[in-house]
Amino acid sequence: MILRERIIEVLKNCFDPEIPIDLWNLGLIYDIKLSDNNEKKVDVHIIMSLTTPGCSMGNSMAEDIKKQLSKIKAINTVNVEVTFDPPWNPKMMTDFARKKLGFEPTKSPKSDQKINAEWE
């Protein structure tokens, strides 16, 4: 498994304390940047958002990400940046999260789906 995939798997085990869905499936992770350093390890920079700007759990979630990712031997440092540009909205959730929270999926129907448009 490549490092980026391992990072995503870890993020799927970091949860918003107020919503029973992981940060990855909530769509709160906007970017994962990896950069090599002189120690042959990788520095990780996560750009994430919160469900609302007033969310008081941002620091807790960022610390959880740092703690969990620091367990990966190939990682040197972890930096988590919180942004509200663009603001998070429920459309950013994966269909897994949408289903778990009772929202309709966002994916379009299969192209081979046939609709009966005949009039009686």
Per the DSSP assignment, residues forming a β-bridge with 36 are 42
Residue 9's CB is within 10 A of a number of other CB atoms, namely: 12
Q: Among 36-50, 58-72, 81-95, which stretch is predicted with the lowest mean pLDDT?
A: 36-50
Let me know if 28 is exposed, middle or buried by CB neighbors in 10 A (0-12, 13-18, 19+): buried
Answer whether 89's CB lies under 8 Å from 52's CB: no
What is the number of alpha carbons within 13 Å of residue 100 lying toward its C-beta? 12
- pTM for the structure as a whole: 0.82
* Confidence (pLDDT) at 48: 97
pLDDT at residue 73 tops 70? yes
50, two tokens: 């919160």
Nearest to 89 by CA among 49, 55, 32: 49
Average confidence (pLDDT) over 29-55: 91
Average confidence (pLDDT) over 53-57: 88
* Confidence (pLDDT) at 15: 94
Structure confidence at residue 105 as a pLDDT band (50, 70, 90): confident
CATH class of 3-92: alpha beta
